[in-house]
Amino acid sequence: MYHAIVRRNLRKSFAEVNRGNYPAIVRQFTPAAEHWFSGAHALGGGRRDNERIQQWYDRLAALLPDLRFELTKVSAKGWPWDTVAFVEWVDHLTDREGNHYSNQGVHVIRIAWGKITELHIYCDTALLASVLDTLAAQGVTEASAPPVGDPGPFRAAAAPAA
């Protein structure tokens, strides 16, 4: 029963994202949660406090205002004090000229007593970087901004080769 509740809450959370209600998402994190997105781009890197996590979601909203997720699989395992959940998804969005894009990926989420302690997001980062390059060319300056928080292990990958 517990895992069914976790899966239902995750579906509700993605419905909030689809509505653009990012404050509802940030409220689900513990104060010292880890939020990490793979890749060397404006959405990449890691954050370890709710202020930076909110800044990341603010950037997400500015970059991809019509982002919508279609969930393909939601699973959860573990105890209430240490639950690991996986959400597989396909997303849909448009750039400023109306071109449509879609990516696929997975969220790996660790939950303790109903609060998110870790969120790791994996997707086709080359595709996302390409979309962000397109947005930058369309005048969206944040699309080429450095990551919010620590760029993580992708810092060297973001620097041009000498």
**pLDDT tens-digit profile of 65-123?**
999 999 999 999 999 999 999 999 999 999 999 999 999 999 999 999 999 999 999 99
Average pLDDT rounded to a whole number, residues 18-41: 94
Which parts of 28-97 are beta strand (E)?
A: 29-37, 45-47, 68-79, 82-94
Alpha-carbon distances of 13 from 6, 58, 115, 150, rounded to whole Å: 10, 16, 12, 25
Please tell me the pTM assigned to this model.
Answer: 0.90
For residue 107, give the nearest of 35, 157, 155 by alpha carbon: 35
